[in-house]
Amino acid sequence: MSAPVVVVGIGADGWDGLSPRARRAIEDADVLRGSARQLALVPPEVGAERVPWPSPMGPALDALPSAHPGRRVVVLASGDPMLAGVGTSLVRLHGAGAVEVVPHPSSVTLACARLGWSVEGTAVVPLVGRPVDLLAPHATPGRRLLVLGSGTGTPAEIAGRLTGWGYGASRLTVLAQLGGPAERAATGTAAEWPHAETDPLAVTAVEVVADPGTVPLPTVPGLPDGAFADDGQLTKREVRAVTVARLVPLPGQLLWDVGAGAGSIGIEWMRVHPTCRAVAVEARPDRAARIRDNARRLGVPDLRVVEGRAPDALAGLPAPDAVFAGGGATAPGLLEACWTALAPGGRLVANAVTVETEAVLARWFAGVGGDLVRLAVQRAEPVGGFTGWRAAMPVTIWSVTR
């Protein structure tokens, strides 16, 4: 395509709210693409051909550069096209040089203006076409959240989840048709939310308030052991915190959690930042199912679970930035496969509680270096009428950067 696709943001105020530049772009278009609702906001005197998006719209976005050869194409988007919008999708598919964006004030900007919230002090949680469970890591006392949903039932789902997590006292404000003549708001607490359905063009603002007795779950690694359903195959809290720290979770990076057990390492990795990704590899189907349940409940439903025995199950997986070998380090070829999969700068961490596994880690430590440490944890427990220390099994942790 000789000219870039122009993406114009348009709000609920329609044509009247557009800037002169945005209007000129639409008036000069040969083809307008958008939803039926967005296309209806353009006055009839604009003579461009109007082509609504099909459902699903993904294939149409992919084919857009060749769909209208020689014609000026303008795509209509809701608000800011680069905030969980079609502009982001087009740039990802075709590159920034193929797309010109003319933004409109986003729903986030408008919502913060109505509520008197600072944008930088508000967490934005995009849930458009995604599970509401993703809200869980953000639900901590005192936070202000703006949740971007897709569907009339999203606010009610948010209220239900918050109540189930122990945040029923949280205050919800649903702002519908922001910036338009039909703008309106509904308020209430999560526990007493009265609206099963709301306007589909709405933003849900949440002021998170904990119910009495609720224990917050932070995104810092080291969640309580009781946060995970398990059958005993669980990296315990203190060891888990050290292990995840040595894996160095960074935004956008991918972890392999090999021999995942309850999935705690991969889950904690993904809770550090919304863009962290993980693959949990687990041989037992019952444990794999438990990992999926833990991931959903703790707010990382996108954790990928691969059922199979390593190292064979690692074949074909996307290259990791870090690997944790929590089980099966003595299996022939497992550590070799993990090490080979890492690019320079990648991190490998392996834990051992048996002498045999320790011996394997010692050989690797002698061969490629890294850090080899042993953690010994003791917990206070009753001894008759007194209190004494009961030692847990020591854990040896080998960590190395390739």
Q: What is the CATH number of the domain that holds 370?
A: 3.40.50.150
Provide the token pair at 200: 């589909």
Within a domain: 214 = no
Within a domain: 310 = yes
Within a domain: 257 = yes
Within a domain: 159 = yes
181 with 289, same domain?
no
Domain end point (choices 76, 105, 134): 105
118 with 190, same domain?
yes
CATH number for the domain harbouring residue 198: 3.30.950.10
Within a domain: 259 = yes
pLDDT tens digits, 36-86: 999 999 999 999 999 999 999 999 999 998 899 999 999 999 999 999 899
Rounded to 5 degrees, what are φ and ψ at 280? -100, 125
pLDDT tens digits, 133-166: 999 999 999 999 999 987 899 999 999 999 999 9
14 with 75, same domain?
yes
98 with 120, same domain?
no
Q: Long-range contacts: 370-374, Cβ < 8 Å, 24+?
A: 370/398, 370/399, 370/400, 370/401, 371/246, 371/397, 371/398, 371/399, 371/400, 372/396, 372/397, 372/398, 373/397
Domain end point (choices 50, 71, 105): 105
**Bridge partner residues of 281 (DSSP):** 258, 306
pLDDT for 2: 61
98 with 113, same domain?
no
269 with 384, same domain?
yes
Instruction: Please state the domain count of the chain.
Output: 3
167 with 183, same domain?
yes
Query: Which domain range does residue 317 map to?
Result: 225-401
Which of left, alpha, beta for 286 (phi over 0: left; psi -120 to 50: alpha)?
alpha
CATH number for the domain harbouring residue 33: 3.40.1010.10
pLDDT tens digits, 83-132: 989 999 999 999 999 999 999 999 999 999 999 999 999 999 999 889 99
Domain end point (choices 105, 128, 150): 105
